Amino acid sequence: MSSSAEQKVSSGSGQVRPSSRNKRVEILAVATEQFGHRGYEDTKWADVAGAVGVGSTALYHYFESKLHCLYVIMADAVEVLREDFDRIVAAEDGFVVGLNEVLRSAFELSEREVQANRVRVAEQGRIGERRKSPREEEARQVARARIRDYEVVWATHLTRGMAQGLVPEADPQLLTRAVLGLYNSVWHWYRPGGILGLDKVAEFYVPRHLALIGLEPSANGGPPAAARRLGR
């Protein structure tokens, strides 16, 4: 099916109406905005339904519950970070330059992606709670697996840097958790549309991530000094 056909289907009257897939995407977008702005607990499922223009009952065709929707938002947020990581590492021009690009890319987010990360960080504790509902549990397991996989690829990449003598020897799992913990801390306080743009946040945080890893950031915010010296 073509992309346009995926987005719209014909009704019996011959009119074009939005596909169920598009409605699901719309629900996720609205829920992400409201969870990020108001907080998960303070957002009513009925408010999401009203903003999307469907009845509360109709939401259950797409998500079994508000919590089910939350798990999907969290899984999708991690997937965006993972896809960028994989893309940059696959095309990297040397380990250190690639690492610098990965860190900078993690701050190049749309407003919706920022809200999704705010939700992910604020509600991550819910990932550890098993659910009786099969649909909720399946969505929880997906989110949990993506978070773990993202930590694994980071630890593997840092281990590679250690093997090349570019990163000081350390426990790669602990180092990964330190790096991702620093990154996640941003989403506790950062708000879209504030006086501080993400470019300024990246300018402050990326060099400190590199320092935490054991790399010397350059004075002008470019690739670390080690990358320039080694031509990597």
- pLDDT tens digit sequence for 70-110: 999 999 999 999 999 999 999 977 899 999 999 999 999 99
pLDDT at 217: 67
pLDDT at 224: 47
Q: Maximum distance among all alpha carbons in the chain?
A: 68
pLDDT at 60: 86
Q: Which of 18, 26, 22, 21 is nearest to 8 (CA)?
A: 18
The residue written with tokens 């108001």 in the block is 38
Does the pLDDT of residue 8 top 60, yes or no? Answer: no
Domains and CATH numbers, the chain: 66-215 (1.10.357.10)
| Span 203-212, average pLDDT | 96
Helix ranges (DSSP H) in the chain: 3-7, 20-38, 45-52, 56-59, 66-90, 95-105, 111-122, 134-163, 172-189, 198-213, 225-230
**Confidence class of residue 2 from pLDDT cuts 50, 70 and 90?**
very low
pLDDT at 118: 97
Q: Which of 228, 227, 188, 226 is nearest to 205 (CA)?
A: 188
- Tens digits of residue pLDDT in 122-153: 999 999 999 999 999 999 999 999 999 999 99
Q: Which residue has the higher pLDDT, 52 or 11?
A: 52
Helix axes 20-38, 66-90, angle to 10 degrees: 100
For the chain, the first-to-last Cα distance in angstroms comes to: 44
Q: What does 189-226 look like in DSSP terms, one character per residue?
A: H--TTSSS-HHHHHHHHHHHHHHHHT----TTSSS-HH
For residues 212 and 185, is the Cβ–Cβ distance under 8 A? no
The residue written with tokens 């098993």 in the block is 130
Q: Which of 113-117, 192-196, 216-220 has the highest mean pLDDT?
A: 113-117
Q: From CA 125, how far away is CA 105, in angstroms rounded?
A: 26
**Confidence class of residue 226 from pLDDT cuts 50, 70 and 90?**
very low
pLDDT at 73: 98
pLDDT at 197: 94
17: which strand partners? 9
Q: From CA 72, how far away is CA 85, in angstroms rounded?
A: 20
